[in-house]
């Protein structure tokens, strides 16, 4: 279905361990503007918070394989229903890491919302790349 998913891939000039830390080390993750609040156990709550604790996203951790995959749902704050699933996959390619982000929507987005979401993904992955390459 059109506008039902977004998938972006980026090559990062850093070892997989460094890219992984951007997601899992709160001190490094703060450079993304917040931190993940989770115990990293499948089935647990999974959210992104600003440094002051403000909720940015909420969901549930669906899959977790160290240095391979993080998959979680995103909930609609008003209804607490899942609106999408987000998957990050990490692959080592020599001295680089290939990071793929994918978001599968529960319902297709209209064109404007889809374009905004695509831009958000591109900016987010570029920021992960910048941070991982500087660590």
Integer Cα distance of 130 and 135 in angstroms: 9
pLDDT tens across 8-50, in order?
Answer: 999 999 999 999 999 999 999 999 999 999 999 999 999 999 9
Instruction: Give the pLDDT score at 69.
Output: 98
Task: Name the more confident of 61 and 2.
Answer: 61
* Buried/exposed code over 90-113 (b: 16+ C-beta within 10 A; e: otherwise): bbeeeebbebebbbebeeebeeee
Q: What is the CATH number of the domain that holds 29?
A: 3.30.530.20
pTM (predicted TM-score): 0.93
Name the domain count of the chain. 1
Containing structural domain, residue 49: 5-134
């Amino acid at each position: 279905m059109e506008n039902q998913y977004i998938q972006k891939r980026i090559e990062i000039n850093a070892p997989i361990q460094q890219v992984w830390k951007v997601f899992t080390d709160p001190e490094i993750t703060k450079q993304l503007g917040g931190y993940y609040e989770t115990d990293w156990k499948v089935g647990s709550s999974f959210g992104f918070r600003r440094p002051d604790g403000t909720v940015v996203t909420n969901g549930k951790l669906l899959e977790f394989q160290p240095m391979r995959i993080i998959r979680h749902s995103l909930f609609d704050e008003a209804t607490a229903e899942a609106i999408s699933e987000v998957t990050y996959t990490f692959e080592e390619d020599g001295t680089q890491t290939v990071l793929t982000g994918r978001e599968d929507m529960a319902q297709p987005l209209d064109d404007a919302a889809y374009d905004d979401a695509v831009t958000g993904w591109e900016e987010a992955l570029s920021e992960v790349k910048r941070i991982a390459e500087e660590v």
